[in-house]
Every structure is written in C-alpha cells, then in structure tokens.
Amino acid sequence: MRRVVITGLGALTPIGLDVPSFWEGLLKGVSGADYITKFDASQFRTRFACELKGFDVTNYIDRREARKMDSFTHYAIVAADEAIRDAGLDTASIDKDAVGVIFSSGIGGLYTFMEEMRGYAPGAPPRFNPFFIPKMIIDIAAGHISIKYGYRGPNYATVSACASSANAIADGFLLIQAGMADVMIVGGSEAAINEAGIGGFNAMRALSERNDDPKTASRPFDKDRDGFVLGEGAGALVLEELGHALRRGARIYAEIVGAGLAADAHHITAPCAKGAALVMRRALASAQISPEEVDYINVHGTSTPLGDASETEAIKAVFGEHAYKLNISSTKSMIGHLLGAAGAVEAVATVLSVYHQTVHPTINHFTDDPECDLNYTFHHPVQREIQYALSNSFGFGGHNACIVFRRYV
C-alpha cells in the first residue's frame, strides 16, 4: 500500500491569515469572534461572527481576476497557494499529470447568489452577470487552482456540509493510495457571513445569540453553550506519496494512515452518537490501530447543546476507559465554525499538533457539564507525546468523516 504524507499546509482563518499566525493564535487561545462588520446585523438575533481580519484579496489576486470569483474562491486560492509554497512544489519540474486538486465548500458562492438576486427585478428584463454561475458553483475553486498551476490530475469538489473538506482529505488520501495521483492539493473554503448565512442559521436556532459577549460565545463542552459561531476562511494540505516526497527532499509534517466515512441515517440536523462512533471505528480499522494507541482527538466540538454531548458519548463508546486518557480540543472555540472549510482547517491544526507534539487548548470554559467529562484541554496548551491523532468532522444530513494522522519519524 502506498504511504501518504503531508508536506504542505495553508490556512486563512479569523485568528491568522497564514499558518504560522494561525498556530500562534491557537496556542495563545485567541478568540476570533467579534461584532459583524460585513453588513448591518442590528436586526438579526445573532450580531457577531468570526470574520477574517485585515484580509485584502488584491494582496494575493489581480483585482480584475478577483472580480470574476466569489469570496470563497479567493480564500481557497490563497490557502492553496500557501500550502503549495510550503511544500516546495516546483511547478516547472513536477509531473503535472500526477497532481490533482480536491477543494470543497459546504455552501459555495452565497455572496454571488445574493448579489445577483438583488439585481433581479421580477417583470423587468432579466439581467445576470455572465460569471454568475461560474462564480457560485462549489467545484469552481478546485478548477481555479488547477488552472493557475496547470495540475491535470483528479479535480473536483466534495460536498457534505460541515464534513466537506474532511471528505476531500479522505478522497485525496485514497486516490494516492490507489496510484491515481502522486500529489493531491486538498482543502475547503467558506464565505457565508452575510445576511443569508446569519439569517438562515438563526432561523434554525443553530447560532449562539450571546450578543453581550461575542469573544466567549463559542463554548464547546461548557454547560451554558447555546450554539455555534459562524466563521469564514480556508484550509489546505498537500498530500504526497511518501517515495515522491523523499525523492525531492520534502519536509514531512505527518502521515495519514487512515480515514473513516459513515452516515448517521438519523436526522437532517440532529447529531447521532452511533454514527459518530461508527466513523471513528472505521477510521481506526483503516489505520489498523487500536483505540488505546490514540493520544489526541481534534473534535468537531461545535458548542451546540446536543452536538457536544453526542460527540462525547461517541468517544466514550469507542475508547472506553482510554477516553479519559486522551487529550481533546475544539479548534472552533477560537475560530468558530467554518462549515465546509472546518475539516481542512482543523486538519491543519491536528497536523501541527502532531508535528509539534503540542495540543492546543479549548477556550471559553466556565461551567462544567456532567455529560461532558473528558479532558478537553481547557484554557492552556499541553505538550505531550502524540503518536496518533484523529480529526472529526460531522455534517448536516448525517455525513461523518474521520482522518487518522501519525507522527512521522
């Protein structure tokens, strides 16, 4: 079986616009939540989110080209470019037929859809931007990345709500294992902090409404958690066949050794501990390791009342007494929920934890919940041996994905 390693990372997040600043923010426990600046949210039940701070697309993409893309594609290109540069991929010499791209989103071009519908007046002659559809469709981010670099390998998007980019990582891993590519650029991007995004999730009663204290609103595993905080950004990883990476002298962050995929078959939005447990068991079986060999789990950990309790129940079902020996942390406590980009950004965090042998904290814990009694690494980072780590992602519709990373030595 061909081995798959991670040789490049990219991140565009509410607490840092590149990987070094993202990792620094995680270790310091920085909250990316604040009041919304992208539109007037005064009439919404939730008036805060985890926006990107100081991001100017023209620092990365020509202004005229950027106008042909939605924000989620801007974010994807920036994160992918950082990962590719970090991996040291030489575009001039690499076999571009053997390099593929899978870049995902849960919602895609929501800004573009809103703009076009605002300009449409029923009864008047229809006028739509010729880039309307190409800007909006979810697969277009992967298309733009492949066009920019000339990569002609497998190219598509996976869409499974909040598990979308975790599915992209799993697919990239499996494609390299199967010999269908030597290198895969995988990741996810989301740009949904607008009226439709906030209003839609408010209507579902999924978002925190802690408007008096946005910085502490994302409270995974806290008794008083009241919903997730919407975030935006992108994450990218360069996956590479081990021999290919070694021949070009690449730095290796970690190895992917397993992936699990499963469905809840339960409810479109309510979590299911059975499905979460099943996907972790499948991931462990794929990696051919026992539960006792796992040291760390980067959990889905959304800060929703049902979701956090359900994930805790699933971890106990899979790991038994060993569950209490694990370090667990929720990246969403700091960057919010990046929807379809969450899996990729949290995978970047997990890989960095394995590489640096350090678990980042879960912040904003104030009151213990008897249903959530594991070691969630509250408040402060912890240095510990991490041989194997899991990254969990669960999406609306009951889509579950789990990736297993191993320390590379």
What integer pLDDT is reported at residue 216 of this predicted model? 98
pLDDT at 384 over 80: yes
Band (pLDDT 50/70/90 cuts) for residue 194 is very high
Task: Give one DSSP letter per residue of 140-205, joined into a string.
Answer: HHHHHHHHHHT--S-EE---BTBTHHHHHHHHHHHHHHTTS-SEEEEEEEE---SHHHHHHHHHTT
What integer pLDDT is reported at residue 270 of this predicted model? 87
pLDDT at 312 over 90: yes
Residue of 244, 300, 360, 365 marked active site: 300
What integer pLDDT is reported at residue 121 of this predicted model? 77
What integer pLDDT is reported at residue 118 of this predicted model? 87
Contact criterion met (CB below 8 Å) for 76 and 61: no
Distance CA 188, CA 237 (A): 10
260-406 CATH: 3.40.47.10
- Render pLDDT for 260-271 as a digit per residue (tens, 0 to 9): 999 999 998 888
- Render pLDDT for 252-302 as a digit per residue (tens, 0 to 9): 999 999 999 999 999 988 888 999 999 999 999 999 999 999 999 999 999
Q: Which residue type occupies 13?
A: T
Query: Per the structure block, which two tokens stand in for 38?
Result: 């992208």
Q: Sketch the domain layout of the chain as residue ranges.
A: 4-247, 260-406
Let me know if the fold of 4-247 is the same as that of 260-406: yes
Average pLDDT, the chain: 97
Average pLDDT of the segment spanning 222-237: 98
Residue of 50, 162, 272, 402 marked active site: 162
Residue of 74, 337, 360, 365 marked active site: 337
What integer pLDDT is reported at residue 248 of this predicted model? 96
What integer pLDDT is reported at residue 309 of this predicted model? 97
Distance CA 77, CA 93 (A): 21
Average pLDDT of the segment spanning 157-180: 98
Query: Per the structure block, which two tokens stand in for 369?
Result: 């919940």
pLDDT at 325 over 90: yes
What integer pLDDT is reported at residue 243 of this predicted model? 98
Question: Which residues is 230 bridged to in the sheet?
Answer: 337
The SS3 assignment for 13 reads strand
- Render pLDDT for 83-130 as a digit per residue (tens, 0 to 9): 999 999 998 899 999 999 999 999 999 999 999 998 887 888 888 999
What integer pLDDT is reported at residue 57 of this predicted model? 97
**What are the residues whose beta carbons fall under 8 Å from the beta carbon of 78, sequence distance 6 or more?**
10, 12, 17, 57, 60, 61, 234
Work out the percent of the chain whose per-residue pLDDT is above 70. Answer: 100
Is 162 catalytic? The answer is: yes
CA angle at residue 38 from 32 to 43, to 5 degrees? 100
**Which CATH number fits the domain 4-247, given the four candidates 3.40.47.10, 1.10.357.10, 3.40.50.620, 3.40.50.300?**
3.40.47.10
Please report the sign of the dihedral spanned by the C-alpha atoms of residue 334, residue 49, residue 56, residue 395. positive
Chain-centroid distance of CA 267 in Å reads: 22
What integer pLDDT is reported at residue 402 of this predicted model? 98
CA angle at residue 159 from 155 to 163, to 5 degrees? 115
Residue positions counted in the chain: 409
Contact criterion met (CB below 8 Å) for 70 and 108: yes
For 169, how many CA atoms within 13 A lie in the half-sphere containing its CB?
42
Query: Per the structure block, which two tokens stand in for 322?
Result: 């060993």
| Beta strand pairing call for 155-156 and 4-12 | unpaired
Helix axis angle, 71-87 relative to 110-118, nearest 10°?
160
- Render pLDDT for 32-91 as a digit per residue (tens, 0 to 9): 999 999 999 999 999 999 999 999 999 999 999 999 999 999 999 999 999 999 999 998
Is 272 catalytic? The answer is: no
**What are the residues whose beta carbons fall under 8 Å from the beta carbon of 282, sequence distance 6 or more?**
260, 261, 262, 402
